[in-house]
Chains A and B, each alone.
Chain A
Protein backbone atom coordinates (compact mmCIF):
# COMPACT_ATOMS: atom_id res chain seq x y z
CA UNK A 1 0.00 0.00 0.00
CA UNK A 2 2.88 2.36 0.91
CA UNK A 3 4.49 1.57 -2.42
CA UNK A 4 1.26 2.48 -4.26
CA UNK A 5 0.95 5.72 -2.30
CA UNK A 6 4.59 6.64 -3.00
CA UNK A 7 4.20 5.90 -6.70
CA UNK A 8 1.00 7.96 -6.79
CA UNK A 9 2.77 10.88 -5.11
CA UNK A 10 5.68 10.62 -7.55
CA UNK A 11 3.30 10.59 -10.52
CA UNK A 12 1.57 13.71 -9.18
CA UNK A 13 4.92 15.48 -8.72
CA UNK A 14 6.04 14.57 -12.23
CA UNK A 15 2.69 15.76 -13.60
CA UNK A 16 3.12 19.07 -11.78
CA UNK A 17 6.65 19.47 -13.12
CA UNK A 18 5.44 18.70 -16.66
CA UNK A 19 2.70 21.30 -16.31
CA UNK A 20 5.25 23.95 -15.39
CA UNK A 21 7.47 23.44 -18.45
CA UNK A 22 7.04 26.63 -20.48
CA UNK A 23 7.01 26.69 -24.28
CA UNK A 24 10.28 27.63 -25.92
CA UNK A 25 10.12 31.28 -27.11
CA UNK A 26 10.42 30.21 -30.77
CA UNK A 27 7.42 27.88 -30.37
CA UNK A 28 5.49 30.57 -28.52
CA UNK A 29 6.32 33.18 -31.18
CA UNK A 30 5.14 30.86 -33.98
CA UNK A 31 1.91 30.06 -32.14
CA UNK A 32 1.21 33.72 -31.34
CA UNK A 33 1.87 34.78 -34.95
CA UNK A 34 -0.68 32.21 -36.16
CA UNK A 35 -3.14 33.37 -33.52
CA UNK A 36 -2.79 37.03 -34.52
CA UNK A 37 -3.89 36.01 -38.02
CA UNK A 38 -6.87 33.99 -36.79
CA UNK A 39 -7.95 36.66 -34.30
CA UNK A 40 -8.43 39.27 -37.02
CA UNK A 41 -11.93 37.90 -37.66
CA UNK A 42 -13.80 38.55 -34.37
CA UNK A 43 -16.60 36.14 -35.28
CA UNK A 44 -14.45 33.11 -36.03
CA UNK A 45 -13.98 30.46 -33.35
CA UNK A 46 -10.60 28.77 -33.14
CA UNK A 47 -8.79 26.43 -30.79
CA UNK A 48 -5.42 26.53 -29.09
CA UNK A 49 -4.41 22.94 -28.36
CA UNK A 50 -1.47 23.42 -25.99
CA UNK A 51 0.18 20.08 -25.23
CA UNK A 52 2.91 21.87 -23.29
CA UNK A 53 0.54 23.43 -20.77
CA UNK A 54 -2.06 20.62 -21.05
CA UNK A 55 -5.14 22.58 -22.07
CA UNK A 56 -7.39 23.38 -25.01
CA UNK A 57 -8.69 26.94 -25.28
CA UNK A 58 -11.68 27.96 -27.37
CA UNK A 59 -11.17 31.53 -28.55
CA UNK A 60 -12.60 34.17 -30.88
CA UNK A 61 -10.99 37.53 -31.62
CA UNK A 62 -8.20 36.67 -29.12
CA UNK A 63 -10.78 36.36 -26.35
CA UNK A 64 -10.82 33.17 -24.35
CA UNK A 65 -14.27 31.62 -24.26
CA UNK A 66 -13.55 28.32 -22.54
CA UNK A 67 -10.64 26.22 -21.30
CA UNK A 68 -10.63 22.43 -21.02
CA UNK A 69 -7.91 20.48 -19.21
CA UNK A 70 -6.19 17.72 -21.14
CA UNK A 71 -5.97 14.37 -19.38
CA UNK A 72 -3.34 12.94 -21.71
CA UNK A 73 -1.71 13.54 -25.09
CA UNK A 74 0.73 12.09 -27.59
CA UNK A 75 2.29 14.02 -30.46
CA UNK A 76 5.41 13.47 -32.52
CA UNK A 77 4.66 15.64 -35.54
CA UNK A 78 5.93 19.02 -36.72
CA UNK A 79 6.36 21.90 -34.26
CA UNK A 80 3.53 24.42 -34.12
CA UNK A 81 0.90 23.25 -36.62
CA UNK A 82 -2.26 24.87 -37.93
CA UNK A 83 -4.90 22.14 -38.10
CA UNK A 84 -8.45 22.11 -39.40
CA UNK A 85 -11.36 20.35 -37.74
CA UNK A 86 -12.86 17.82 -40.16
CA UNK A 87 -15.63 15.95 -38.41
CA UNK A 88 -16.77 14.40 -35.21
CA UNK A 89 -18.16 10.98 -34.59
CA UNK A 90 -20.45 10.76 -31.61
CA UNK A 91 -23.10 8.06 -31.76
CA UNK A 92 -24.76 9.10 -28.56
CA UNK A 93 -24.84 12.84 -29.19
CA UNK A 94 -28.26 14.09 -30.27
CA UNK A 95 -28.05 16.35 -33.30
CA UNK A 96 -30.63 18.39 -35.17
CA UNK A 97 -32.12 17.01 -38.31
CA UNK A 98 -34.41 14.16 -39.27
CA UNK A 99 -34.13 11.52 -36.59
CA UNK A 100 -35.26 8.69 -38.82
CA UNK A 101 -32.57 6.43 -40.23
CA UNK A 102 -29.43 5.00 -38.72
CA UNK A 103 -27.21 7.98 -39.51
CA UNK A 104 -29.78 10.61 -38.51
CA UNK A 105 -28.44 14.13 -38.93
CA UNK A 106 -24.81 13.07 -38.48
CA UNK A 107 -22.12 13.17 -41.11
CA UNK A 108 -20.97 9.80 -42.35
CA UNK A 109 -18.43 8.13 -40.07
CA UNK A 110 -15.23 8.34 -42.11
CA UNK A 111 -11.74 7.84 -40.75
CA UNK A 112 -8.63 9.92 -41.62
CA UNK A 113 -8.29 8.14 -44.96
CA UNK A 114 -11.92 8.64 -45.90
CA UNK A 115 -12.90 5.04 -45.30
CA UNK A 116 -16.33 4.35 -43.94
CA UNK A 117 -16.04 3.13 -40.38
CA UNK A 118 -18.51 1.88 -37.87
CA UNK A 119 -17.62 4.79 -35.60
CA UNK A 120 -16.99 4.85 -31.88
CA UNK A 121 -19.45 2.98 -29.73
CA UNK A 122 -19.04 4.82 -26.48
CA UNK A 123 -16.95 8.01 -26.82
CA UNK A 124 -16.92 11.05 -29.07
CA UNK A 125 -14.01 11.54 -31.44
CA UNK A 126 -12.94 14.78 -33.10
CA UNK A 127 -10.87 14.40 -36.26
CA UNK A 128 -8.44 17.08 -37.41
CA UNK A 129 -6.26 17.44 -40.50
CA UNK A 130 -3.22 17.02 -40.44
CA UNK A 131 -4.22 13.86 -38.59
CA UNK A 132 -4.86 14.55 -34.94
CA UNK A 133 -7.54 13.05 -32.76
CA UNK A 134 -9.23 14.49 -29.70
CA UNK A 135 -11.44 12.11 -27.81
CA UNK A 136 -12.91 11.18 -24.48
CA UNK A 137 -10.87 8.28 -23.10
CA UNK A 138 -7.83 6.62 -24.65
CA UNK A 139 -7.83 5.99 -28.41
CA UNK A 140 -8.07 2.40 -29.59
CA UNK A 141 -4.76 2.87 -31.48
CA UNK A 142 -2.57 4.71 -28.93
CA UNK A 143 0.18 5.43 -31.50
CA UNK A 144 -2.07 8.06 -33.13
CA UNK A 145 -1.33 11.70 -32.40
CA UNK A 146 -4.05 12.46 -29.92
CA UNK A 147 -5.28 14.40 -26.92
CA UNK A 148 -7.71 13.14 -24.31
CA UNK A 149 -10.46 15.07 -22.55
CA UNK A 150 -13.07 13.96 -20.03
CA UNK A 151 -16.37 12.73 -21.45
CA UNK A 152 -18.26 15.87 -20.38
CA UNK A 153 -15.60 18.20 -21.75
CA UNK A 154 -15.53 16.49 -25.14
CA UNK A 155 -19.28 17.12 -25.46
CA UNK A 156 -18.75 20.76 -24.64
CA UNK A 157 -15.87 21.08 -27.12
CA UNK A 158 -17.85 19.29 -29.81
CA UNK A 159 -20.66 21.83 -29.59
CA UNK A 160 -18.11 24.58 -30.31
CA UNK A 161 -16.77 23.14 -33.54
CA UNK A 162 -17.94 22.99 -37.09
CA UNK A 163 -16.01 21.55 -40.04
CA UNK A 164 -13.28 24.00 -41.04
CA UNK A 165 -12.69 25.40 -37.55
CA UNK A 166 -8.94 26.12 -37.27
CA UNK A 167 -6.82 24.89 -34.37
CA UNK A 168 -3.26 25.81 -33.43
CA UNK A 169 -1.40 22.80 -32.06
CA UNK A 170 1.46 23.65 -29.70
CA UNK A 171 3.64 20.62 -29.01
CA UNK A 172 5.15 19.87 -25.61
CA UNK A 173 8.48 21.67 -25.34
CA UNK A 174 11.61 19.58 -24.85
CA UNK A 175 13.30 22.42 -22.94
CA UNK A 176 14.09 21.72 -19.32
Chain B
Protein backbone atom coordinates (compact mmCIF):
# COMPACT_ATOMS: atom_id res chain seq x y z
CA UNK B 1 0.00 0.00 0.00
CA UNK B 2 1.27 3.45 -0.89
CA UNK B 3 0.31 6.24 1.49
CA UNK B 4 -0.74 9.56 -0.13
CA UNK B 5 2.38 11.40 1.05
CA UNK B 6 4.64 8.97 -0.77
CA UNK B 7 3.24 9.22 -4.28
CA UNK B 8 6.28 10.26 -6.28
CA UNK B 9 7.04 10.21 -9.97
CA UNK B 10 9.94 8.17 -11.32
CA UNK B 11 12.02 11.36 -11.70
CA UNK B 12 11.33 12.47 -8.15
CA UNK B 13 12.12 8.98 -6.90
CA UNK B 14 15.41 9.00 -8.74
CA UNK B 15 16.26 12.48 -7.37
CA UNK B 16 15.47 11.29 -3.85
CA UNK B 17 17.77 8.30 -4.25
CA UNK B 18 20.57 10.61 -5.39
CA UNK B 19 19.93 12.85 -2.39
CA UNK B 20 20.07 9.84 -0.04
CA UNK B 21 23.36 8.69 -1.57
CA UNK B 22 24.81 12.20 -1.22
CA UNK B 23 23.78 12.45 2.45
CA UNK B 24 25.19 8.98 3.17
CA UNK B 25 28.53 10.06 1.64
CA UNK B 26 28.52 13.17 3.85
CA UNK B 27 27.93 11.05 6.95
CA UNK B 28 30.68 8.63 5.91
CA UNK B 29 33.09 11.57 5.60
CA UNK B 30 32.14 12.85 9.07
CA UNK B 31 32.49 9.35 10.52
CA UNK B 32 35.91 8.58 9.04
CA UNK B 33 37.64 5.20 9.33
CA UNK B 34 39.79 5.67 12.43
CA UNK B 35 39.37 3.28 15.39
CA UNK B 36 37.39 4.27 18.46
CA UNK B 37 36.46 2.79 21.82
CA UNK B 38 32.96 2.46 23.22
CA UNK B 39 32.37 1.70 26.91
CA UNK B 40 28.90 0.68 28.10
CA UNK B 41 29.12 1.26 31.85
CA UNK B 42 25.76 -0.35 32.56
CA UNK B 43 27.03 -3.67 31.21
CA UNK B 44 30.74 -3.11 31.87
CA UNK B 45 31.49 -3.84 28.23
CA UNK B 46 34.24 -2.27 26.15
CA UNK B 47 34.20 -2.47 22.36
CA UNK B 48 36.84 -1.37 19.88
CA UNK B 49 35.38 -0.26 16.55
CA UNK B 50 37.36 0.09 13.35
CA UNK B 51 36.05 0.79 9.86
CA UNK B 52 32.43 0.31 10.86
CA UNK B 53 32.93 -3.01 12.64
CA UNK B 54 33.55 -4.15 16.20
CA UNK B 55 36.99 -5.75 16.09
CA UNK B 56 37.27 -6.58 19.80
CA UNK B 57 35.00 -6.70 22.82
CA UNK B 58 36.09 -7.02 26.42
CA UNK B 59 34.65 -7.14 29.90
CA UNK B 60 35.84 -4.18 31.91
CA UNK B 61 35.25 -2.70 35.36
CA UNK B 62 33.97 0.84 35.78
CA UNK B 63 33.17 3.34 38.53
CA UNK B 64 31.33 2.23 41.65
CA UNK B 65 29.31 5.45 41.95
CA UNK B 66 30.22 5.63 45.64
CA UNK B 67 30.83 8.97 47.29
CA UNK B 68 33.79 9.46 49.65
CA UNK B 69 33.70 12.34 52.10
CA UNK B 70 36.96 13.88 53.26
CA UNK B 71 37.86 16.68 55.63
CA UNK B 72 35.81 19.85 55.32
CA UNK B 73 34.13 20.11 51.95
CA UNK B 74 36.26 17.43 50.27
CA UNK B 75 34.09 14.98 48.41
CA UNK B 76 34.92 12.46 45.70
CA UNK B 77 32.41 10.72 43.47
CA UNK B 78 33.78 7.48 42.05
CA UNK B 79 31.85 7.52 38.82
CA UNK B 80 32.94 6.83 35.25
CA UNK B 81 31.32 9.84 33.61
CA UNK B 82 29.12 9.74 30.52
CA UNK B 83 31.11 11.76 28.01
CA UNK B 84 33.50 11.60 25.09
CA UNK B 85 37.16 11.31 26.10
CA UNK B 86 40.20 11.25 23.87
CA UNK B 87 43.38 9.30 24.51
CA UNK B 88 45.94 11.85 25.69
CA UNK B 89 48.91 9.59 26.25
CA UNK B 90 49.91 5.94 25.94
CA UNK B 91 52.12 4.71 28.77
CA UNK B 92 53.98 1.44 29.23
CA UNK B 93 54.55 0.26 32.82
CA UNK B 94 52.62 3.18 34.29
CA UNK B 95 53.27 4.35 37.83
CA UNK B 96 50.20 5.48 39.75
CA UNK B 97 50.69 8.75 41.57
CA UNK B 98 48.14 8.28 44.33
CA UNK B 99 45.75 11.16 44.80
CA UNK B 100 44.52 12.35 48.19
CA UNK B 101 41.38 10.19 48.12
CA UNK B 102 43.50 7.01 47.98
CA UNK B 103 44.80 7.88 51.46
CA UNK B 104 41.48 9.19 52.81
CA UNK B 105 39.83 5.94 51.74
CA UNK B 106 42.30 3.97 53.86
CA UNK B 107 41.96 6.39 56.73
CA UNK B 108 45.60 7.45 56.32
CA UNK B 109 47.17 10.89 56.24
CA UNK B 110 48.02 11.99 52.71
CA UNK B 111 51.67 13.08 52.25
CA UNK B 112 51.94 16.86 52.23
CA UNK B 113 54.22 17.06 49.22
CA UNK B 114 52.56 16.14 45.91
CA UNK B 115 55.80 14.53 44.65
CA UNK B 116 56.28 12.44 47.81
CA UNK B 117 57.70 8.96 47.22
CA UNK B 118 54.82 7.50 49.29
CA UNK B 119 52.41 8.50 46.57
CA UNK B 120 54.06 6.38 43.89
CA UNK B 121 52.67 2.92 43.21
CA UNK B 122 54.26 1.01 40.29
CA UNK B 123 52.14 -2.15 40.68
CA UNK B 124 48.46 -1.25 40.51
CA UNK B 125 47.88 -0.07 36.94
CA UNK B 126 49.19 -3.11 35.05
CA UNK B 127 51.42 -3.14 31.99
CA UNK B 128 49.84 -0.26 30.06
CA UNK B 129 47.69 2.81 30.56
CA UNK B 130 45.70 4.80 28.06
CA UNK B 131 45.51 8.16 29.77
CA UNK B 132 42.37 10.21 29.18
CA UNK B 133 41.35 13.69 30.29
CA UNK B 134 40.83 14.74 33.94
CA UNK B 135 42.97 11.94 35.45
CA UNK B 136 40.80 9.15 34.06
CA UNK B 137 42.51 6.23 32.33
CA UNK B 138 42.01 2.79 30.88
CA UNK B 139 44.49 0.54 32.66
CA UNK B 140 45.10 -2.97 33.97
CA UNK B 141 44.05 -4.57 37.21
CA UNK B 142 45.39 -6.62 40.09
CA UNK B 143 41.94 -8.17 40.51
CA UNK B 144 40.82 -9.81 37.22
CA UNK B 145 38.00 -11.62 39.03
CA UNK B 146 36.34 -8.26 39.64
CA UNK B 147 36.11 -7.41 35.92
CA UNK B 148 32.46 -6.96 34.97
CA UNK B 149 31.66 -5.12 38.19
CA UNK B 150 31.13 -1.52 39.17
CA UNK B 151 34.09 -1.39 41.47
CA UNK B 152 36.60 1.27 40.39
CA UNK B 153 37.21 4.85 41.43
CA UNK B 154 36.22 6.08 37.95
CA UNK B 155 38.95 4.62 35.75
CA UNK B 156 38.25 1.71 33.44
CA UNK B 157 40.05 -1.54 34.22
CA UNK B 158 40.77 -4.20 31.61
CA UNK B 159 42.28 -7.68 31.70
CA UNK B 160 45.90 -8.10 30.54
CA UNK B 161 45.24 -9.43 27.02
CA UNK B 162 42.47 -6.96 26.22
CA UNK B 163 44.57 -4.09 27.53
CA UNK B 164 47.55 -5.11 25.39
CA UNK B 165 45.29 -5.33 22.31
CA UNK B 166 43.73 -1.93 22.99
CA UNK B 167 47.17 -0.41 23.52
CA UNK B 168 48.30 -1.68 20.13
CA UNK B 169 45.23 -0.50 18.22
CA UNK B 170 44.48 2.96 19.57
CA UNK B 171 46.48 6.11 18.93
CA UNK B 172 46.81 9.37 20.83
CA UNK B 173 43.63 11.26 19.99
CA UNK B 174 41.46 8.15 19.60
CA UNK B 175 37.96 8.94 20.92
CA UNK B 176 36.60 6.96 23.86
CA UNK B 177 32.82 7.12 24.10
CA UNK B 178 31.53 6.37 27.59
CA UNK B 179 27.88 5.93 28.45
Contacts and interface: CB of A to CB of B under 8 A. Distances in A.
Given A33-B23, A156-B43, A174-B1, A25 B177 contact: no
B13 interface: yes
* Chain A interface extent, by class: 35 or more
B135 interface: no
Nearest to B37: A65
- Main SS class of interface, A: mixed
Given A26-B8, A79-B5, A175-B6, A32 B42 contact: no
Contacts of A95: 65
Contacts of A162: 82
10 contacts: A25-B17, A25-B20, A32-B24, A35-B23, A36-B23, A61-B175, A63-B31, A159-B179, A162-B82, A174-B1
Contacts of B43: 152, 156
Chain B CB within 10 Å, residue with most, of A29, A66, A79, A152: A29
Interface of A: 24-26, 28-29, 32-33, 35-36, 39-40, 42-43, 45, 58, 60-66, 79, 94-96, 152, 155-156, 158-160, 162, 174-176
A26 B38 contact: no
A10 B30 CA distance: 42
B40 A159 contact: yes
| Closest 9 pairs (CB-CB, A-B) | A160-B179, A32-B23, A25-B16, A62-B31, A159-B42, A174-B3, A43-B84, A62-B30, A62-B27
A174 B6 contact: yes
A28 B83 CA distance: 28
A79 B132 CA distance: 41
B20 A160 contact: no
Interface in B1-43: 1-3, 5-6, 8, 13, 16-17, 19-20, 23-24, 26-28, 30-31, 36, 38, 40-43
A29 B31 contact: no
Given A65-B38, A160-B82, A26 B175 contact: no
